[in-house]
Structures are given as structure tokens and as C-alpha cells.
Structure 1
Amino acid sequence: MKRFLLAMLFLAFAGLGFAQEKAPKSPRVTVENKAVKISYGQPSKRGRVIFGTLESFGKVWRTGANEATEITFNKDVVFGGKPVKAGTYTLFTIPDPKTWTVILNTSHGLWGAYDYDKVKDKDVVNIQVPREALSKPVEKLTFTLPANAVVFEWDDTKFTVPVK
């Protein structure tokens, strides 16, 4: 009986290692410079076809995973040729094989783009940017902030929004 109890105790403690929370598949990532900060869920390609399959063309997308992507401007800027006041916005996109629509919206705390139709009246920017085809796929969705721009790259797609 003693051996049985010891074996059960051992199995219970061994099982605790498996019960620990694993790192999320799409961690929340923040990239920032002096003027812009972007916080987004960073999904991976993992062998999937992303645009046109996983993320439909012509449909509003959260531009990341889990909670909708947020972009913060520390001062008033010109984003894609349109004036934007300092503050935090939700960033949505509409993927397309040739031209992407980039949307800034004043709603906050959204999970994905599921309720976008309820908040689309809060859009402050709606611009078109050309899609650039990448010769080598990018595994993890990535935003970068080179001087005067916001750059998005994932799978075989890249787009750039000028920021002044």
C-alpha cells in the first residue's frame, strides 16, 4: 500500500509539469519608436496559406491575432496622407491581392474584428496602400517602424504606410 501511495504521489507531481500553462501561439508584441507604438498579437504562418484562405480577401481583419491591433501616436501625424490626432486607435485592414485598405478606428478593447460593423462609424482614417509581394515568406506577422513609416510583413505580403 505504501508503494502504491508513493507511486500515486509521484504521478501527481509529475503531472503538474504538464499542467503548466504553455506560451501562447500568438503572443502579444509591442514595437515602438519616439512617435509610434503598435501592440498586436503575432501569429505564425506554420505552413498555412494566409491571405485569400485563412484571412479572406475583401473582409475586415484585426491585422494580427486575438485582441485587435492598436496603434498609438504620441503627437499629431499625417498617416498615409491623412491627418490623425495624437492618441490610440484600433488598426484594421482589408486584405486584397493588389491593394490593402488600412483603417484607424477610435474604438478600443475589441476582440478581433467581429464587431467592426458596430463601430465602423468611428473610423478616422480609411486609406489604400499597394500590396508588395515578398519573394521569401515571413513566418511571423511583423510590424516595423523605420523612419517615417509603418511597415507590415507576413507570409508573402508587405505594405507600407507613410507617417509624417
Structure 2
Amino acid sequence: MKRLLCCLTLCCGIFAAAMPASGQAMMAAKPKAPASPPAAAVSVIGNKSFWIAYSSPGVKGRAGKIFTADGLIKTAGGSQYPIWRTGANSATTLIVDGKVKIGDITVPSGAYTLFADISDQNNWTLIISKKTGQWGLSYDPADDLGKTKFTMSAPSSMVENLKWEITDKGNGMGAITLSWENHTATVDVDTH
């Protein structure tokens, strides 16, 4: 019994002595942040709720090389250029809780996936797909609810991380905006 207690005491002592070193190593090894962290835009326009869930990639020193004919979007592995997933990773999701009009598209209450046709880097088209839950690169035109033109502009300064915004303009009107790098694309929303 004495021998067992001595062994246990010795083992516990070794374990306790090693613990601070391994704890320090664990503290030094911080978890790596995702390259394109999850993000969301949420708002109410009129009496309708809007929610966009997406992953937000960064420019990361590639300014001027994202949307060009030989840029990141076209050369990304598995890309369906000129159709872009409007984010990274899983498909960008739009959820509305009532019938609305987004640009020229009548959108019933429900969940949708957002894509963009960026074949002309200065004139984009928003694509609203009825299919949801897919990886962002899985686009099939047979699933389109509709397409509508974005109004394009340049941001006041380069937008490092992709950002979706939903803006209430009052009286049941609003806008959905996508900004990244040196592009801003906006589409009007009508909740009447």
C-alpha cells in the first residue's frame, strides 16, 4: 500500500509540474480566426424583417485583383465565373418574413440564396435563387426566382471585408447593399 501511495504521489507530482508548461503552451496557441468569418445583416423595412447570413472574405492585399477578368473571383477553385456567390464558404442566405419586391423581383416570404452575375465588373446583376443550404459554389439557373440589376457605385474608400447592409429608408422602402474592394452594389426594396 505504501508503494502504491508513493507511486501515486510521484505521478501526481510529475503531472502537476508538467501542467503549467502545457497550460502556457495552450494559451500561446490561440485558435486561428477563420479566413472569411461569418457575418449577418439584419433589419426591418416597413413591417417586414430581412436577414442576410454570409461569410466575409478580406481583400488581403489583392486590391484591384478581385473582380478583374483574371482576378480572384474568376480563378478561385471551383468558381462558376461570372456567377459569384456574394461571399465565401457556404451560400449567402436571404430570409424575408413577408412578400416584398427586391429590384424587379417579387419575393415571397421564405429563404433564398443570393448570387451575382459579375461578367461586367461595373454592371452587376443580383440573382435570387430558390435553392438554399448549398455550398456557395453550387449555382443552377433552373433554381432562379429572378434576376435584377444592381445600381453600381464606388465606395469612398476601399472596403477590406465584404459587407452586406440592409437600410430602411422609411415609408416601407429600403435598400440592400453589397460592398467589397472598390465596388458597391445596391438594389431597392419595396415592402408594400
Fold conserved between structures, TM > 0.5: yes
* Residue in 1 that maps onto 2:133: 109
CA distance in 1, matches of 2:148, 2:180: 20
Determine which of 149, 158, 161 is the counterpart of 2:184.
Answer: 158
User: 1:142·1:153 contact (CA, 8 Å) conserved in 2?
Assistant: yes
CA distance in 1, matches of 2:156, 2:166: 21
CA distance in 2, matches of 1:163, 1:44: 27
CA distance in 2, matches of 1:135, 1:9: 52
CA distance in 2, matches of 1:124, 1:66: 22
Stretch of structure 1 that moved more, 104-113 or 10-19: 10-19
Residue 97, structure 1, aligned to residue 118, structure 2: no
Note the aligned Cα RMSD (angstroms): 2.4
* Residue in 2 that maps onto 1:122: 143
Map 1:1-164; keep pairs closer than 5 Å.
11-34=21-44, 35=48, 36-48=50-62, 49-52=65-68, 53-56=71-74, 59-95=82-118, 96-113=120-137, 115-116=138-139, 119-147=140-168, 148-164=174-190
Segments of 5+ residues of structure 2 without an aligned counterpart are 1-13, 76-80, 169-173
- Higher-Rg member (1/2): 2
TM-score relative to the length of structure 1: 0.85
User: 2:175·2:189 contact (CA, 8 Å) conserved in 1?
Assistant: yes
CA distance in 2, matches of 1:145, 1:5: 54
Local SS of the residue matching 1:55:
helix
CA distance in 1, matches of 2:117, 2:18: 54
CA distance in 2, matches of 1:23, 1:135: 28
Stretch of structure 1 that moved more, 60-69 or 130-139: 130-139
CA 66–18 in structure 1, closer or farther in 2 if over 3 Å, else same: farther
User: 1:98·1:130 contact (CA, 8 Å) conserved in 2?
Assistant: no
Report how far residue 61 of structure 1 moved.
1.2
Q: Percent identity?
A: 32
TM-score relative to the length of structure 2: 0.73
CA distance in 2, matches of 1:61, 1:18: 38
What is the total number of aligned residue pairs between the two structures? 160
Provide, for residues 46-100 of structure 1, a one-character-per-residue CA deviation record: whole Å limited to 9, x for no partner.
1113212111395111101111100111110111122111111000112232210
